[in-house]
Structure 1
Amino acid sequence: MSESAIHFSISFKEPQAHYAEIEMLIPHVESDHIDLKMPVWTPGSYLVREYSRHIEHLYATSANGKLACEKTSKNTWRVAAGKNAGPIHVFYRIYGFEVSVRTNFIDADHAFISPAATFLYIDGLSHQPCQVTVHLPEQWASISTGLPKLPTASNTYYADNFDTLFDSPLEIGNQDIWHFEAAGVQHEFAMVGGGSYNKQQLTSDLVKIIEQETAIWGENPNSNYVFITHNYNAGSGGLEHLNSTVLAASRNAYKIDAAYKNFLSLAAHEYFHLWNVKRLRPKALGPFNYDAENYTAGLWIMEGFTAYYDNLIIRRCGFYSVKEYLNALANEFNLVYNRAGHRVQSAAQASFDTWIKQYRPDENSINSSISYYNKGAMLAVALDTHIIARTQGKLRLDDVLREAYNTFYKKEGRGFEEDEFRRLAERVTGVDLGEIFDAAHNTVELDYNRFFREVGFELIDLNQDSQELSLGIRIVEQDGRLFIKNVERSSGAWDAGLNVNDELIAINGNRLDSAGKELDFALAQGQYEDIVDLLIARDGRIRTIHTPLRYCRKQLWSIQPRIDATEQQKERGRIWLSVVES
């Protein structure tokens, strides 16, 4: 390692109180002062999280004693160093007690360290190499991280720069660790919090997933990879990193078939990001500005395509039957089309606005936004099936991704613009894909059945002929009382003026019980556009809202084989959904 490397030491004097102590050693300073900064967000999770709010008691010293240190912005500390200063030591504590895959969590049992929420960097010098030494409390025995270990020092790891450091979380404690090889790469699995998992089965299934994904991309760019899984009573979610991932799962769900397959899909999703996001990426996603938002309209490609492939990989491995896979894919359509927001926000807009919407849902989000995960998966299946059909099964979306990876990442070493990605896709396949790419930028829906029919399937709304009535509200029960949680745009409740947080007391003069049975009865006995009288309490005041009944607009999509599909279409469908031998 370079002598200019910045060295961090992390220790845990009071883990039970959720604190870690950080020492930052800066070997040499060439200016009168340095600005130390903490990222406000972490790569892969597009929200400004203000990590610096958890720093306490920051001070700096040199051989001459304590140095003047002034906080100049929410995440910046200016240290008066003096030119050609010798080593400078910076000390601070961090608090971590938020359960997520993107934030620090420290307690008596273990510590999960998110580097962007932990380590300071010198403004303008994020390219510097760095080292991290972990001082293990006597009750902890293990460290799991994608960072390579420094052979000359105990429990010390290094990174070539801060981009790598910030993308390499650490799990510290007594996690259950095992190792395996897949696609020529050494893998470590670290389980935290116990669970009903079967190591042998899980390893065998992960090997299949890893080898399927490596085959798509043509190579596995890592020499090692680490899965860190936090098991909770109820948990979900994941976050990708350069050569590791952090997953959250329910500890007792591994023996439940559907839940276990969902976990495999999550692992497939985050591992797919090893290529798609971490290497193949839009220009905005690296090098990063850790001070502010990094905007791109292309997350529908990065996250949406990955959301399409995660379940498709599970099908290719043979873990999903065709029916199970099609049900999982149809759910993407249900999640989009059952939000009125799909008429308001496009996939590209959802991508760009992720910083203010995706991670900050509110009571009106269903009416104003969609997820670029779900909508991107819909667009991806349109691309995949269309390419398969137009090339008679010789090419598919896999071939586009592999060429994009080779071109933009390997050959040119840069991120791409969306129009470049589109042109490459059309060059590789010889297929006009403009309609699908354009659909990502507007709210006019594609006729997805045009693409499904090409491979022998059709998308059907099983509720299309339903005469079920609805107010257009979602209610929740709290302490035996019913409250409105959401109001659907253009529903009867919306037009009548019912509000979120209104307490429902009675309907048509009948008191509502906590199960809402009288409400169900009124809906079952009513007619379209009947007016019902809802007695509500709003901010402690009683009023009656006259509300029309409308047809329920909930859609239930299913993807089914077409009875009249031609043999050619059926063959394309077999190519699309085939199990692939690894």
Structure 2
Amino acid sequence: MSTIPVSAAVPAKISYKVSFPDAQAHYADIEMTVSGLQQPSLEVKMPVWAPGSYLVREFAKNIESLSATANNKAVTATKISKNTWKIATAGIGSVTVKYKVYAFELSVRTSFVDASHAFLSTTGIFLYPKGMINQPSTIKIIPYKDWDKVSTSLEKVGGDAFTLTAPNYDILFDSPIEIGTQDIFGFEVNGVKYDVAMYGGGNYDKARLSADMAKIVEAETGVFGENPNKHYTFIVHNRQRNGGGLEHLSSTVLGASRDQYGSERGYQGFLSLVAHEHFHLWNVKRLRPIALGPFDYDNENYTTNLWIAEGFTAYYQNLMLRHAGIVPEDGFLSAMVGDINTVENTPGTKVQPLAESSFDAWIKGYRPNENSVNTGISYYDKGAVIGMLLDLEIINSSAAKSSLDDVMKYMYNTYYKGKGRGYTDAEFKAGFEKFAGKKLDAFYADYINGLAAIDYNKYLGYAGYKLTDELAGTNEPTLGVNLGKAGSKITVMAVLRDGPAWKDGINVGDEIVAVDGTPVTDQAEIMKNKKIGDKINITVNRDGKAYILPVTLLRNPRQKNKIESLSAPTEKQLAVRKKWLKL
């Protein structure tokens, strides 16, 4: 006969108080109270990573001055692992844990506090009691000075914006909180209320943004047939230079440059980010790989399917702007060419399969080094390309009756809504095959688990397009390096696999000083009047010593592709094109 633990018999009550007495010094003070205890000890833990950002970041490193009290008396709190404290609670019904969090990294995945605002990325702020991940909690926020607004997807308690509640820790850790004097505006789509919280100012047009963001929401909702939220929050951090985003269940955090809204390119770039992160509320937050939930907050959560979770989202961020009528046909095709060029100009695409890129996100994708371009491929970029190929395959095979949209909706309804769980790799493959009407074993072997060169024209041809490399007929020589310049110094930042520098021993970090004895101060001077096959002597400064390295120049393999229409597309091809691009 099994025994139910005493701690599970009567649910504990958990509450937090967050204050900022030292906001100017970048600290948040946390007071956590757990009552209803009936156990000899309580372990409290902090997550080591933030879901959606696949890297162990060790958030507990920012905690200091942790102490525990009960009945106004100190109780023993001992750190027993990198992110766990054990508190003696024998004979104690309620304990309060106090600690400070240093927060001075303003990114979409980390917390930041200063005198102007606080951004709480909750995985790095709130300890949770071990074994109580499904327990509800309340958060009382004591604002600093003139802070008068809170932006979050968490529900308010009694209409008080500064008192919040979370039904469990998965939702608390998926609900960032912005506190300050942010500019808030909003819109509504199909009964769902949207708030946009802008920190840092900027040259944005609220009316235009509201209208275009609503179009994106409507287009994306159309893919899945429903929006599972009652309200949704965009938290936008506008800085001099900023970017990136992180998805959450009913909100997202975006980084933007405060002046980017004034140019069409910058504005479109922001809308693309909006489309990407908002699409995630379905794809990955609900329709997810089976490994990504319930989350293990102590360890890595491995999956081979980030090419679907992130790569397809990268594909849809462009497709949705087209379907919403925000970008024209050529704008969408140019975006896809950008992904294709990135894939084809990355040497690592011939080394790392797409599924492996996903699995190794934890140790490679988020920890790039000077050799990453040679050893790996982004599951964002190649995943977006694969999304395009599968979309075209399904549209063509179904005589333009179905598309990748139908697969996404079917998988969402079947696994998130129907089975209440994530999908396996085999299950998503079966979903593709259901709507393609054919087995995709060879496709997976070649493009997902293998390293075959992508036959772009086969798939683009379904829609009456072709891919052309504008550099295919050129004979431009190359040294095979990526260079950086600081002042008059030209430094090697990357050495590309199988290029001249790779073969002849130029190193990352080398400062290029001269070519054939002639000093160079500009990158253009290195290859001036050179041709393929030339043997040149490169003088480099390496660790304070001069070296002369003989190098034989080779043809530059870089591609510059474009997608263009076939001269006489067939009726079937035009039907595929119309379905694909909603022309």
Length-normalised TM-score, structure 2: 0.96
Residue 337 of structure 2: aligned partner: 330
| 2:339/2:382 contact within 8 Å kept | yes
1:318-397 to 2 correspondence within 5 Å?
318-397=325-404
Deviation at 1:4, TM superposition (A): 3.2
Q: Does 1:552 align with 2:545?
A: no
What secondary structure is seen at the aligned counterpart in 1 of 2:549?
Answer: strand
**How far, CA to CA, are the matches of 2:536 and 2:542 in structure 1?**
18
The percentage of counterpart residues that share the same residue type is: 44
1:435-454 to 2 correspondence within 5 Å?
435-438=442-445, 439-454=447-462
* Offset from partner CA, 1:547-571 (integer Å, 9 cap, x none): 1100111111111111132122122
**How far, CA to CA, are the matches of 1:356 and 1:337 in structure 2?**
23
Deviation at 1:429, TM superposition (A): 4.1
Amino acid aligned to 1:107: D
1:398/1:482 CA distance change after superposition, 3 Å? same
Deviation at 1:153, TM superposition (A): 5.7
Count of aligned pairs between the two proteins: 573
1:492-503 to 2 correspondence within 5 Å?
492-503=500-511
**How far, CA to CA, are the matches of 1:207 and 1:154 in structure 2?**
25
Length-normalised TM-score, structure 1: 0.97
What secondary structure is seen at the aligned counterpart in 2 of 1:310?
Answer: helix
1:271-350 to 2 correspondence within 5 Å?
271-350=278-357
Match among 244, 250, 264 for residue 257 of structure 2 = 250
Deviation at 1:3, TM superposition (A): 7.4
| 1:268/1:313 contact within 8 Å kept | yes
Match among 453, 463, 468 for residue 471 of structure 2 = 463
Query: Please, what is the CA RMSD of the aligned residues?
Result: 1.3
| 2:11/2:36 contact within 8 Å kept | no
| 2:12/2:37 contact within 8 Å kept | no
Residue 136 of structure 2: aligned partner: 129
| 2:151/2:197 contact within 8 Å kept | yes
1:66-215 to 2 correspondence within 5 Å?
66-83=74-91, 85-151=92-158, 155-215=162-222
What secondary structure is seen at the aligned counterpart in 2 of 1:372?
Answer: coil
What secondary structure is seen at the aligned counterpart in 2 of 1:66?
Answer: strand
* Offset from partner CA, 1:254-279 (integer Å, 9 cap, x none): 02001111111110110100000000
**How far, CA to CA, are the matches of 1:359 and 1:3 in structure 2?**
38
**How far, CA to CA, are the matches of 2:314 and 2:210 in structure 1?**
22
1:5/1:563 CA distance change after superposition, 3 Å? farther
| 2:240/2:258 contact within 8 Å kept | yes
What secondary structure is seen at the aligned counterpart in 1 of 2:507?
Answer: coil
**How far, CA to CA, are the matches of 2:258 and 2:320 in structure 1?**
23
1:274/1:490 CA distance change after superposition, 3 Å? same
Residue 58 of structure 1: aligned partner: 66
* Offset from partner CA, 1:386-432 (integer Å, 9 cap, x none): 11111111000000000000000001000110101111222244233
What secondary structure is seen at the aligned counterpart in 1 of 2:283?
Answer: coil
| 2:517/2:537 contact within 8 Å kept | yes
Residue 261 of structure 1: aligned partner: 268
| 1:4/1:129 contact within 8 Å kept | no
What secondary structure is seen at the aligned counterpart in 2 of 1:402?
Answer: helix
**How far, CA to CA, are the matches of 2:379 and 2:394 in structure 1?**
22
| 1:379/1:436 contact within 8 Å kept | no
Residue 490 of structure 2: aligned partner: 482
| 2:13/2:36 contact within 8 Å kept | no
Deviation at 1:152, TM superposition (A): 7.0
Deviation at 1:377, TM superposition (A): 0.7
Deviation at 1:437, TM superposition (A): 3.0
Match among 548, 553, 571 for residue 575 of structure 2 = 571
What secondary structure is seen at the aligned counterpart in 1 of 2:380?
Answer: helix
Deviation at 1:154, TM superposition (A): 6.3
Amino acid aligned to 2:372: S
Gaps of 5+ in 1: none
Q: Does 1:541 align with 2:545?
A: yes
| 2:393/2:436 contact within 8 Å kept | no
Gaps of 5+ in 2: 1-9
Residue 426 of structure 1: aligned partner: 433
